[in-house]
Amino acid sequence: MKVCYIIGYPIGHSMSPTMHNAAFRELGLDYKYEAAPIEPERLAGFLDGVLRRPDARGASVTIPHKIAVIEQLDVVNREAADIGAVNTIVNDEGTLKGYNTDGLGALKALKESAGDLSDKRTVLLGAGGAARAVAYRLVQEAGGLIILNRTARRAVELAEYLRGKAGSRRIEVSAAPLDEAHLARAVGGSDILINATPVGMHPNVEGTPVPRHILHSRLLVFDLVYNPLRTRLMREAEAAGAGTLSGVEMLVYQGAEAFRLWTGREAPVGLMLRVVREALGG
């Protein structure tokens, strides 16, 4: 039997074991998926002592390891290297290879709801690993991108970096502090709002990164937080007449790509969506 893990700390909220084990069973694969809560000081030991074993096929990587894990890997693919974060590891006969499927998963979910993004202005909250992955894909397709982060310097650095990744596309990428004044200005003129911060995540479910009065009916609000299924941000967006998209879709689509990397098989996406929603009470 091959084993895949999710490594992070803490990871009690994760739905990844639920969806991946259901997918393995559905396809009759001799795989299992286990949660491995790993403190930062134990990361290198886990990768060398467990993940390189012949029975280990790979891992999902979550907070706080997405950046730190890179220096422990043998190979990192171009997208993960450009983003500076890894969320999927494949053990290829003892060689650990790093990938990032977050951006692909987020953009697939977003385009299913919003369609063509080329004429849409997007506000992205956060500048961490998930935000970087989403932004990396957005600059290839969106009409404009504004990055807001509590530490403004990180937002500015990410915006400058992304301008160099846009290629021949002429896209405006700007940055500002994540405060009420800049939120109001940015959100008021935008079509899409993406929360790539952990604000509102279980157990702090009453948190929200955006005051209710700033939300408007022309928005699509995409909250990458998936536990709870309907965050406070999503509830207040719906009350304002905005469209909403939960983080469940991104979770499943990025997981489906990881599943393909581990098994060589296409994942049963419909089943994965269903079991995650059921587990979250939706």
Neighbours of 248 (CB within 10 A): 23
Tokens 């309907």 belong to: 230
Give which of 249, 245, 236, 238 is closest to 277, Cα–Cα.
Answer: 249
Maximal CA-CA distance, the chain:
54
Query: Could you tell me the CA-to-CA distances from 120 to 19, 247, 255 in Å, in that order?
Result: 32, 20, 26
Residue type, 250: M
Query: Looking at residue 168, what is its pLDDT?
Result: 62
Tokens found for residue 268 = 């049963």
Residues marked as catalytic: 66
Listed in sequence order, the DSSP H helices in 27-127 are: 43-46, 78-83, 102-114
Tokens found for residue 14 = 């994760």
Give which of 175, 232, 220, 169 is closest to 193, Cα–Cα.
Answer: 220
Does residue 166 have a pLDDT over 80?
A: no
Neighbours of 152 (CB within 10 A): 17
Same domain, 96 and 204: no
Query: Looking at residue 170, what is its pLDDT?
Result: 80
The CATH number given to whatever domain includes residue 230 is 3.40.50.720
How much helix, strand and coil, in percent to the nearest 5, is found in the chain? 40, 20, 35
Same domain, 94 and 114: no
Give which of 253, 200, 255 is closest to 228, Cα–Cα.
Answer: 200
Give which of 263, 228, 253, 273 is closest to 22, Cα–Cα.
Answer: 273
Same domain, 175 and 192: yes
| 92-141 tens-digit pLDDT | 999 999 999 999 999 999 999 999 999 999 999 999 888 999 999 999 99
| 46-64 tens-digit pLDDT | 999 999 999 999 999 998 9
Same domain, 32 and 150: no
Same domain, 81 and 134: no
Does residue 9 have a pLDDT over 80?
A: yes
The CATH number given to whatever domain includes residue 38 is 3.40.50.10860
**Domain tally for the chain?**
2
Which domain covers residue 174, as residue numbers? 103-245
Mean pLDDT of all residues in the chain?
A: 95
H/E segment holding residue 134: helix 129-138
Distance CA 105, CA 127 (A): 18
**Lowest mean pLDDT, pick from 26-30, 32-36, 213-217, 227-231:** 227-231
Average pLDDT over residues 181-210: 96
Query: Looking at residue 92, what is its pLDDT?
Result: 98
Give which of 230, 172, 222 is closest to 197, Cα–Cα.
Answer: 222
Same domain, 110 and 239: yes
